[in-house]
Structure 1
Amino acid sequence: MGYRFGRDDVAYLGSAAGSAALAEVDRLELTPATHLRDIEQVRRSHDAHAAALIETVRLRRKAAGKLPASAEWLFTDDALQQATPGLVARHRAVRLAGRAVHDVTCSIGAELAELAEVCPAVIGSDLDDVRLAMAAHNLGVAPLSATGSGTADEVSRVRGRNIVLAKADALTPTSRDTVIIADPARRADGRRTYDPAKLQPPLPDLLAAYAGRDIAVKSAPGLDFDRLGWNGEIEVVSLDGAVREACLWSPGLTEPGVTRRATVLDSRGAATTLTDTAPDDIPERAPGEWIVDPDGAIVRAGLVRHYAAAHGLWQLDPHIAYLTGDTVPPGMRGFRIEDRFELREKTLRQELSRRDCGSLEILIRGVDIDPDALRKKLKQRGTQPYTLVITRIGRNATVFLCTAHAAR
């Protein structure tokens, strides 16, 4: 759970003395091997503040890859875990450029930092006093004691800049003429939940509170959207190959006809997007020269056929997300098919041994097999790298023996 910060901790950490102490603690290794020694040293120097200092330095180091511009920020462990990666938040902010925005679950301000770069007025509100105080530190603004009912423009003029923070319940509308952003907590009873009604605040209640408003709601990619009956767009976003989130966009914030979107981002700044308005007609053919494993955002958004049509590919099986073709789309993983077998352990062991197989990557989709357990059973000790793509074609489990994947 991490250290439980209080308002006094935030006040100290944000002071000149706290900043100097953090710089001192940051010079320590803070590794498991030095843990006891480092704690004792910090306690001797900073007594009651030791735990807050150590936790803050630890969280800043953890945040470096996720929120690169947050070197001087304050966090709680839970807030950092749920914070949107900077590049993902920036992508969303660009879609809202020029609009006044109210983040009703602003937490420590990660989303607000990106919105403030492109939006004329940004409001952040939360019920957690500590997180609001941290957001104020992180963004360089002072939180209001309570929200008013004025427009975002009126609040902005009061603060003299384009960010304002306030304590408010996400289920109680406290702004007008703003786009609403929300990121409900995805844990219930200590466990991650994919039930919209068990989010905090519950997603059905949140949507009802802002009925008729432009709203964007961040959620887990595995959320049961069919149960929700959402009539806007669902965008699934990946970053550097890992699916990060889904975002529900109300109809007023998306393009006509778009109900599904996949956005693929990478740390170098590249971004590609695909929607369900694209063609999805693809042929039914035997496997080509390559197998292509689409990015997870494309798979989760249900746009595998659309991606295939855009790149001259087709599916190995109509119900499986692996694609095949005679070329590999730029920047994607490709696996050159060398051979094909039925799923029989003895046959696989013999073929891999004959080919001097050493390192073995195993990809599985549509078949209930533990790749690590299978790899141990195959016991390959050769020198050549191979990839096994194990999937279902029709009713049969099929194994494709492939050379090591290529990125083109």
Structure 2
Amino acid sequence: MDQGELDALLTSEGLALLDALDPVETTADVARAVSRLRAEGHSPDLVSAVVGQSRLRLRAEAKFGPFASRMLFTRAGVEQATRMAVAAHHAARFRRAGIGRVADLGCGIGGDALAFAGSGLDVLAVDADPVTAALAAYNLRPFGDAVEVRSARAEEVDLAGWDAVWLDPARRTAGHSETRRVAPSDYSPSLDWAHELGERMPVGMKLGPAHDREAIPDGVEAQWVSVDGSTVEVVLWSGALAREGVGRAALVIRGEASHELTSAGDTEDEPVRELGAFLHEPEGAVIRARLVGEVARSLEAGPVAPGIAYLTGDAAVTTPFVTSFRVRETLPADAKALAKALRARGIGTLEIKKRGVDIDPALFRKKLNLRGDESATLFVTRIGGKRTAILADRV
């Protein structure tokens, strides 16, 4: 979205037109909507903005639910925004730490700021991009004087009078649509600046879940977060926002339920075990936090092979930190022999998971020529140095 489209959209005519527009889902829907609106005499900027926003609102429902229908977005803003379920956990931590006023530096379209303000915090929301800041101001308007929105660089903001900072460094190139990832040395603001800020005041800093663990400073709490099976972020908490005795944490959110595993540091792995009656796949946040050993002990299980994050055991137990499967049998890992075995078992629907092997599950599935009414899960991994296929069922 450029400034012309923004100016056209942020008018009573533009917003009313957007709210009255039927959902725009397909390319054909776009063509029909554009043709109709242009025939009605609306400007090209307004038509582009309204149709684009309608599509973005549909995409944003996955993160913002029904709130998306009353918000404005950029494409990059939707992709990079924090999910509301996760933002609520962030806000709750600030409240528990006794924080009353938080500066959200790099606020984007306002995902976290919405949760902060909704939990009763006073918020300063800042973004370097003027268009993005304007959209954040629109999205945060229901909170009135409790929220101030500015367009500025994080390093330029006077933080006097603010209790803590939420920081989301830009990890992609600037832009509202097509962006690309940049190296950590090119984050804005820089990680050096951010870590120095965390030494002076309480800071929560959102980073990508694959952030280099060696670059995490001593004395901060690193919390990895998984949502509905996807690992979405790691947050580095400092000062009063970091919990005493916690150096590593894995927060797992599925639907409306959440569970957390914490430790002072990385936990030791359990010894490798022979394949047992059950196979457990740890959540990505648990793997990233290196807390697999702790989960294994709770399951009376161990890894199937060194460095492979599949756990196995004979105890009929599970935990929110894994997805558990009952092992049926091991099968040939060769695609031709495996296809024959699966057809003999009538398996036509197959979920394929892999670790430690170089296969593309989608391409591998095509080679299997599946037929039948049965369903199962297939794990392809390395055990004892050999590629192994394990047929299993979800518990």
Aligned to 2:170: 185
Structure with more helix by fraction: 2
Residue 210 of structure 1 deviates from its aligned partner by 5.0
Is the 1:196–1:228 Cα contact (8 Å) retained in structure 2? no
Aligned residues: 381
Which whole-Å deviations, capped at 9, do the CAs of 1:266-316 have from their partners, x for residues lacking one? Answer: 23x211000124975746532221111111211222211112223333221
Which whole-Å deviations, capped at 9, do the CAs of 1:24-80 have from their partners, x for residues lacking one? Answer: 3x2254521233222111112222411111111111122122112232211111112
- Specify every segment of 5 or more residues in structure 2 that has no aligned partner in the other structure, as ranges: none
1:265 aligns with 2:253: yes
Is the 1:170–1:206 Cα contact (8 Å) retained in structure 2? no
Structure 1 residues 171-320: aligned runs within 5 Å: 171-176=155-160, 177-188=162-173, 190-193=179-182, 195-209=183-197, 211-229=199-217, 231-267=219-255, 269-277=256-264, 282=270, 284-320=272-308
Task: Select the residue among 148, 173, 183 that pairs with 1:164.
Answer: 148
Q: TM-score, normalised by structure 2?
A: 0.87
Residue 330 of structure 1 deviates from its aligned partner by 4.9
Residue 82 of structure 1 deviates from its aligned partner by 0.9
1:380 aligns with 2:382: no
Aligned to 2:110: 109
2:263 maps to a residue whose letter is D
1:40 aligns with 2:24: no
Distance 1:300 1:139 in 2: 33
Judge which range, 282-291 or 65-74, deviates more: 282-291
Distance 1:16 1:173 in 2: 32
Distance 2:236 2:287 in 1: 17
Is the 2:199–2:239 Cα contact (8 Å) retained in structure 1? no
Distance 2:33 2:269 in 1: 61
Distance 1:30 1:388 in 2: 34
Is the 2:269–2:292 Cα contact (8 Å) retained in structure 1? no
Shift of the 213–41 alpha-carbon distance from structure 1 to 2, 3 Å rule, reads: same
Q: Over aligned residue pairs, what C-alpha RMSD do you find?
A: 2.5
SS at match of 1:106: coil
1:377 maps to a residue whose letter is K
Distance 2:372 2:23 in 1: 44
Shift of the 11–229 alpha-carbon distance from structure 1 to 2, 3 Å rule, reads: same
Is the 2:279–2:311 Cα contact (8 Å) retained in structure 1? yes
Distance 1:78 1:102 in 2: 22
Residue 342 of structure 1 deviates from its aligned partner by 5.6
Which whole-Å deviations, capped at 9, do the CAs of 1:200-258 have from their partners, x for residues lacking one? Answer: 33322332355422111111111223135454111111111111111111253222232
SS at match of 2:134: helix
Residue 188 of structure 1 deviates from its aligned partner by 4.2
Shift of the 405–206 alpha-carbon distance from structure 1 to 2, 3 Å rule, reads: same
Aligned to 2:86: 88
- Sequence identity (%): 33
Is the 1:339–1:401 Cα contact (8 Å) retained in structure 2? yes
Residue 119 of structure 1 deviates from its aligned partner by 4.3
SS at match of 1:234: strand
Shift of the 75–376 alpha-carbon distance from structure 1 to 2, 3 Å rule, reads: closer
Distance 1:127 1:345 in 2: 52
Distance 1:128 1:188 in 2: 12
Aligned to 1:123: 124
- Specify every segment of 5 or more residues in structure 1 that has no aligned partner in the other structure, as ranges: 143-159
Is the 1:188–1:198 Cα contact (8 Å) retained in structure 2? no
Distance 2:350 2:153 in 1: 52
Shift of the 309–323 alpha-carbon distance from structure 1 to 2, 3 Å rule, reads: same
Judge which range, 183-192 or 162-171, deviates more: 183-192
SS at match of 2:115: helix
1:58 aligns with 2:45: no
Aligned to 2:390: 400
Distance 1:107 1:89 in 2: 13
Shift of the 346–168 alpha-carbon distance from structure 1 to 2, 3 Å rule, reads: closer
- 4+ residue segments displaced more than 6 Å: none
Judge which range, 326-335 or 386-395, deviates more: 326-335
Residue 23 of structure 1 deviates from its aligned partner by 2.3
1:63 maps to a residue whose letter is A
Distance 2:287 2:309 in 1: 7
Is the 1:233–1:251 Cα contact (8 Å) retained in structure 2? no
Distance 1:133 1:367 in 2: 47
